[in-house]
Structure formats: C-alpha cells, structure tokens
C-alpha cells in the first residue's frame, strides 16, 4: 500500500467543503489520484443552508441526491417581503422559471450536507485528511508542494501535479498571492443562529426561504429539519457599529424590530451559538496559474441573498474538474490550454455577474417595486415572461439560458427607467450606498 504522506498525487485539494469535495470526486471518477486536505472534522457547523434548483443536477452527477433528499427540506420558492411595496410580499416559485425540470431545491444543515459530500469523495477513491491545516504552498516547480500540520501539530508535506484551492472564505492561495480584493461595491456583515419554535409557512410553502428587507439590510429565515429555523441578518457596516450589546442580544433586538419577523418569533428560542461574519464580499485577481486553480469562495464571495454560494462553488468545481482533467491529460497544445482556461474563467465570471446585478441593487426601492407584484399584475403575459427570466436567474439557470436574455434586458431597462423616475424615493438607497462605501 502507498504511503499516503509520501506519494505524488495527481491533484491536491485544499478544503473539504462543497467546492473541494465536488472537484475531488469528479476528478477521481475520471481516474485521477486525488487528495483532499481539510482543516476541521466533519460534521462541522457551516453557514449557507439554502440551495438552488440548479444544484440538483450536480448532486445527481455526484450520486448523492437521494442522501440529500433524506436530510433536506424541499424549497419550492423564495419569498420576498418588503416594507416599501404594496403588496408587501411576493413568492417566486421555481416551477415558474423557463426551465421546468427543476421546480424545487433543498434547505440543508451544512454539517450533514458537507459530510455526505465528504464521505462520497472517500467512496470514489479520494484520499482525505481531516484536522489537516494547510499553511504554505510552493507553486514554483512542476510538482506543487504544500505544507501543513495535523491536529496534534505534526508537520506534513504533500506533493501533486496540480493544486486546487477550495479553502472557502479562508482564501488560502489568494492571501498567499496577495490577490484578494475587497468588493468595494458591497461591504456587508452578517449575524445569525439556529432557532426553535419559529412559525413556519404551511403546506407546500413550509420549506420556502423567507427574505425580509429592513432599514439596515435584509433578514433570512431558512426552515431546516426537526423544527429548526436558520435566522440571520445582513447589514451595512454603519449599523453594525451601533452594537453595544452581546451578539445574541443584538441579533434578537434586530429581529424584533421588524414586526413581521417579531410575530413569527414570539415563542422562538436559540438553539446553539450565534455567529458573525464581517466585511464579506471579495474577489481574487488570480483565478488560475501554472498548475493551480481557485474555486468556490476561495476565488470570490458575493452576498448570499439569492442563496447562490453553494451553487457557484459546486458549479465552478464541475467545470474545474473538466479543465484540470484536460490539462493533466495534456491532450491539448499550450495554445488550446490557454483557450480552455480562458473559457473556464469566463464561465465562472458570467455566473457570478448574473447574480451580482441583482445583489448590488437589492436594497434599491426601484428593484423592490419591479420584483414585487400583485396577483393581478403578475397575470399579464409580459410580466410573466419577465418574472420567469428573473426566477431562472434565482434558480441558478442564467448561464447559457438563451430564452431569458431578452426579457432580462427589458427588466434591467425598466429598472433604470424606474430608478430615474423615482429618483427621490430611491435617494435613501443612494445615501446608504454612500455610507457603505465610506465605511468600506
Ligand atoms: C452569512 C452567510 C449566509 C450564507 N447563506 C447561503 C445560502 O443560504 N445558500 C448558499 O448557497 N450559500 C450561502 N452562503 C455562502 C456559502 O456558505 C458558501 O458560498 C459555500 O460554503 C462555499 O463553498 P466552498 O466549498 O467554496 O467553501 P466552504 O464551504 O467554506 O469550504 C471550505 C473548506 O475549506 C477548509 N479550509 C479552509 N482553510 C483551510 C486550510 N488552510 N487547510 C485545510 N482546509 C481549509 C474549511 O474548513 C472548509 O471546510 C452564505 C454565506 C454567508 C457568510
């Protein structure tokens, strides 16, 4: 038997979250010798519990869909609640997207979800280490070398022909390469926890994510199994600076300040710890280089209001697996390799960009008005087409979906017109944008 510490792997992967386990499993299935190094031990807490419909084909490809179905809550829609629109609520059913094949997604406890993915990559032959923290990478030679230590502090070195950084928000390589850039357009922070006894929606709507806009940002409610609700808020840095109590109290005070949320949480009690994540949007200037690649949050992180993170991480891993496979097999010339890498980068960028257009305008009243519509208005065929296009983006189906291009263009045009016409009304949003950039 090979010594797992001394052998040369085809691919070394830093991080055993959704991105790392997905690329590792797919590369192992293509016949490569892969090693994943994960600093923590599964199951471990992680935020990012609401998946998108377009996650499902990836889970199917990995062969874990049934297992995820067993631990997940079905999410048929995303419900948005606004303080400034009439109606105050609109529900975006995924069945109304242009692609009718994936009418739902799942809400999952990430401890369970990530463990399924991790165990699955072990099953398909990936060598895995838990409690192994990577500290240093040497990218200079043909063989990539990484140094790390295990949970007892013993140091280890690993070598591989290719290195994938899937270290999530730790952004291991981007830090080492000094390529991490704060997203100046979107500097927000989040505080969150798990609660019991939060009022759930009923029937088919029970698993829907609820999003509430409020004065200082937005709040999420994600129903999980066994009566648990993940609840948290994302806010401007200026609001976070007003905190003069514990995280727990600040979270509760903020949630109670929104009447609809207060009503749903009258009997709620906290189940576990309250967590916080600060200044969280960023991107790396470098996505790939000679023998290495950054995927998932290790490359970029955008606001999770549309639950895009896990999908973007796994999708970049799927495309990354094809790319690394082709590069390792050296079936192509250097020129072709450059083209493959450029195509990979463009696909990752385009997917992120599709969400960002909505994210950057999420707090603008002009977008609220366009997104939220009364039943009567939503019956209009043009409105239905526009909404189907928006829902397709929210389902993770923006890339290569030609049907939505023109309706999305119209939607964005309407947004701009609405913004200009109601400039005064939108000015509070502009004020917050200014505050936001001065804080950032
Ligand atoms: C407040 C908040 C709410 C969110 N809500 C959602 C949501 O509802 N839906 C959604 O899809 N996404 C959401 N996200 C985003 C989501 O959490 C991430 O996009 C997703 O987890 C990215 O997956 P990943 O595999 O790239 O990184 P991760 O899941 O973070 O995995 C990275 C792994 O690498 C390991 N690691 C890190 N450094 C090292 C090292 N040096 N050595 C070894 N191992 C290392 C970590 O322990 C971790 O297990 C949310 C994020 C935040 C902050």
Distance 17 CA to ligand 1 centre (A): 6
What is the secondary structure of 1-34 as a DSSP string? ---TTTSEEEEEEE--SHHHHHHHHHHHHTT--E
Distance 48 CA to ligand 1 centre (A): 7
What pTM was computed for the model?
Answer: 0.93
Confidence bin at 439 (pLDDT 50/70/90): very low
**Domain assignment of residue 3, yes or no:** no
Confidence bin at 437 (pLDDT 50/70/90): very low
So what's the pLDDT on residue 365? 77
Give the mean model confidence (pLDDT) for residues 387-414: 89
**Residue having the nearest C-alpha atom to atom 39 of ligand 1:** 167
**Domain assignment of residue 348, yes or no:** yes
Shared domain check, 397 and 385: yes
Confidence bin at 360 (pLDDT 50/70/90): confident
**Residue having the nearest C-alpha atom to atom 27 of ligand 1:** 168
Q: Answer yes or no: is pLDDT of 238 > 90.
A: no
Q: What angle (nearest 5°) sits at the alpha carbon of residue 265, between those of residues 261 and 266?
A: 120
Q: Phi first, then psi: what are they for 227, rounded to 5°?
A: 70, 15
Shared domain check, 66 and 77: no
CATH number at residue 201: 3.30.9.100
Residue 285: Cβ-neighbour burial (10 angstroms; 0-12, 13-18, 19+): exposed
**Domain assignment of residue 46, yes or no:** yes
Confidence bin at 291 (pLDDT 50/70/90): very high
Closest approach atom of ligand 1 to CA 172: 41
Shared domain check, 266 and 126: no
What's the distance, CA 383 to chain centroid? 28
Tell me what percent of the residues of the chain surpass a pLDDT of 70.
92
Give the mean model confidence (pLDDT) for residues 70-96: 88
So what's the pLDDT on residue 84? 66
So what's the pLDDT on residue 293? 97
> Cα torsion at 203, 206, 209, 212 (round to 10°)?
80
So what's the pLDDT on residue 431? 53
pLDDT per residue over 27-57, tens digit each? 999 999 999 999 999 999 999 999 999 999 9
Shared domain check, 43 and 123: yes
Confidence bin at 330 (pLDDT 50/70/90): confident
* Residue of 43, 167, 194 best suited for mutating to test ligand 1, as the one with most atoms within 8 Å of CB: 167
CA distances from 333 to 144, 293, 326, 365 (A): 21, 19, 11, 51
**Residue having the nearest C-alpha atom to atom 37 of ligand 1:** 167
Shared domain check, 162 and 62: yes
Q: Would you say the CB of residue 16 lies under 6 angstroms from ligand 1?
A: yes
**Residue having the nearest C-alpha atom to atom 13 of ligand 1:** 48
Tell me the C-alpha distance between 111 and 43, whole Å.
5
Q: Answer yes or no: is pLDDT of 116 > 60.
A: yes
* Residue of 156, 168, 299, 362 best suited for mutating to test ligand 1, as the one with most atoms within 8 Å of CB: 168
**Domain assignment of residue 226, yes or no:** yes
Q: Would you say the CB of residue 78 lies under 6 angstroms from ligand 1?
A: no
**Domain assignment of residue 1, yes or no:** no
**Domain assignment of residue 167, yes or no:** yes
Go through 355-393 and write b for each residue having 16 or more CB atoms within 10 A of its CB, e for each that does not: bbbbbbbbbbbbbbbbbbbeeeeeeeeeeebbbbbbbbb
Closest approach atom of ligand 1 to CA 220: 8
Shared domain check, 152 and 288: yes
Q: Answer yes or no: is pLDDT of 440 > 70.
A: no
Q: Would you say the CB of residue 58 lies under 6 angstroms from ligand 1?
A: no
Q: Answer yes or no: is pLDDT of 3 > 50.
A: yes
| Domain boundary residue, one of 292, 326, 354 | 354
pLDDT per residue over 368-389, tens digit each? 777 776 555 567 788 888 889 9
Which residues, in sequence order, are CB contacts of 369 under 8 Å at separation 6+?
Answer: 85, 418, 422
So what's the pLDDT on residue 375? 57
**Domain assignment of residue 242, yes or no:** yes
Which tops the pLDDT comparison, 82 or 388? 388
Q: Would you say the CB of residue 40 lies under 6 angstroms from ligand 1?
A: yes
Go through 127-149 and write b for each residue having 16 or more CB atoms within 10 A of its CB, e for each that does not: bbbbebbbeebeeeeeebbbebe
Q: Would you say the CB of residue 19 lies under 6 angstroms from ligand 1?
A: yes
Q: Would you say the CB of residue 193 lies under 6 angstroms from ligand 1?
A: no
Give the mean model confidence (pLDDT) for residues 300-315: 93
Q: Which residues pair with 14 in a beta bridge?
A: 37, 165
Confidence bin at 423 (pLDDT 50/70/90): low
Number of domains into which the chain is organized: 3
Shared domain check, 429 and 367: yes
Nearest to 303 by CA among 76, 52, 48, 94: 48
Closest approach atom of ligand 1 to CA 40: 47
Matching residue, tokens 């909404």: 387
- Long-range Cβ pairs for the range 403-410 (8 Å, 24+): 403/98, 404/98, 410/386
Q: Would you say the CB of residue 217 lies under 6 angstroms from ligand 1?
A: no
Q: Are 269 and 253 in contact (CB under 8 A)?
A: no
Shared domain check, 152 and 206: no
So what's the pLDDT on residue 422? 73
Q: Would you say the CB of residue 396 lies under 6 angstroms from ligand 1?
A: no
| Domain boundary residue, one of 277, 303, 329 | 277
CATH number at residue 313: 3.50.50.60
| Domain boundary residue, one of 234, 261, 277 | 277
* Residue of 38, 45, 48 best suited for mutating to test ligand 1, as the one with most atoms within 8 Å of CB: 48
Shared domain check, 391 and 331: no
pLDDT per residue over 180-229, tens digit each? 998 876 778 899 999 999 999 999 999 999 999 888 889 999 999 999 99
Confidence bin at 334 (pLDDT 50/70/90): confident
Distance 313 CA to ligand 1 centre (A): 8
Which tokens hold the place of 310? 């896990």
Give the mean model confidence (pLDDT) for residues 5-12: 90
So what's the pLDDT on residue 270? 96
Give, for 144, the enclosing helix (H) or strand (E).
strand 144-149
Q: Would you say the CB of residue 302 lies under 6 angstroms from ligand 1?
A: no
Nearest to 92 by CA among 102, 82, 78: 78
Closest approach atom of ligand 1 to CA 133: 42
Q: Answer yes or no: is pLDDT of 261 > 80.
A: yes
Domain containing 300 equals 8-71+108-182+283-354
Q: Would you say the CB of residue 50 lies under 6 angstroms from ligand 1?
A: yes
Neighbours of 272 (CB within 10 A): 11
**Domain assignment of residue 2, yes or no:** no
Residue 349: Cβ-neighbour burial (10 angstroms; 0-12, 13-18, 19+): middle
Distance 297 CA to ligand 1 centre (A): 6
Instruction: Look over the chain and give the mean of its residue pLDDT values, rounded to a whole number.
Output: 90
**Residue having the nearest C-alpha atom to atom 30 of ligand 1:** 168
Residue 160: Cβ-neighbour burial (10 angstroms; 0-12, 13-18, 19+): buried
Strands 282-284, 127-129: pairing is unpaired
Shared domain check, 199 and 169: no
So what's the pLDDT on residue 366? 80
Q: Would you say the CB of residue 166 lies under 6 angstroms from ligand 1?
A: yes
So what's the pLDDT on residue 279? 67
* Residue of 46, 47, 163 best suited for mutating to test ligand 1, as the one with most atoms within 8 Å of CB: 47
Tell me the C-alpha distance between 162 and 114, whole Å.
23
Which tops the pLDDT comparison, 2 or 145? 145
Q: Would you say the CB of residue 18 lies under 6 angstroms from ligand 1?
A: yes
Shared domain check, 85 and 63: no
Q: Answer yes or no: is pLDDT of 417 > 90.
A: no
Shared domain check, 315 and 203: no
């Amino acid at each position: 038997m090979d010594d797992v510490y001394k052998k040369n792997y085809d691919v070394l992967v830093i991080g055993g979250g959704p991105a790392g386990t997905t690329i590792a499993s797919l590369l192992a299935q293509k016949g490569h010798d892969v090693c994943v190094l994960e600093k923590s031990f599964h199951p471990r807490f992680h935020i990012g519990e609401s998946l998108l419909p377009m996650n499902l084909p990836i889970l199917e490809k990995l062969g874990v869909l049934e297992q995820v179905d067993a631990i997940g809550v079905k999410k048929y829609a995303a419900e948005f609640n606004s303080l400034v629109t009439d109606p105050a609520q609109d529900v975006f059913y995924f069945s109304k997207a242009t692609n009718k094949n994936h009418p739902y997604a799942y809400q999952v406890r990430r401890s369970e979800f990530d463990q399924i993915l991790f165990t699955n990559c072990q099953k398909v032959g990936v060598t895995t280490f838990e409690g192994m923290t990577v500290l240093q990478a040497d990218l200079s030679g043909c063989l990539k070398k990484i140094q790390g230590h295990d949970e007892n502090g013993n140091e280890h070195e690993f070598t591989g022909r290719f290195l994938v950084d899937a270290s999530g928000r730790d952004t291991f390589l981007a830090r080492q390469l000094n390529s991490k850039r704060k997203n100046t357009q979107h500097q927000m922070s989040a505080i969150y926890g798990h609660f019991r006894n939060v009022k759930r929606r009923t029937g088919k709507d029970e698993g829907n994510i609820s999003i509430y806009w409020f004065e200082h940002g937005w709040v999420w409610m994600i129903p999980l199994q066994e009566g648990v609700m993940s609840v948290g808020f994302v806010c401007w840095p200026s609001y976070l600076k007003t905190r003069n109590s514990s995280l727990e109290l600040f979270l509760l005070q903020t949630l109670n300040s929104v009447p609809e949320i207060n009503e749903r949480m009258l009997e709620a009690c906290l189940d576990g710890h309250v967590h916080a994540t600060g200044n969280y949007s960023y991107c790396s200037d470098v996505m790939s280089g000679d023998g290495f690649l950054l995927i998932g949050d290790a490359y970029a992180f955008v606001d999770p209001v549309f639950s895009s993170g896990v999908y973007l991480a796994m999708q970049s891993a799927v495309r990354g697996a094809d790319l690394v496979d082709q590069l390792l097999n050296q079936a192509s010339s250097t020129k072709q390799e450059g083209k493959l890498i450029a195509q990979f980068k463009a696909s990752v960028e385009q997917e992120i960009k599709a969400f960002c257009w909505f994210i950057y305008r999420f707090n603008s009243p002009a977008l609220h008005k366009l997104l939220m519509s009364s039943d009567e208005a939503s019956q209009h065929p043009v409105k239905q087409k526009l909404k189907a296009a928006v829902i397709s983006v929210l389902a993770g189906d923006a890339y290569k979906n030609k049907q939505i291009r023109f309706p999305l263009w119209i939607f964005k045009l309407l947004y701009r017109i609405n913004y200009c016409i109601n400039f005064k009304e939108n000015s509070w949003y502009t004020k917050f944008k200014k505050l936001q950039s001065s804080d950032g």
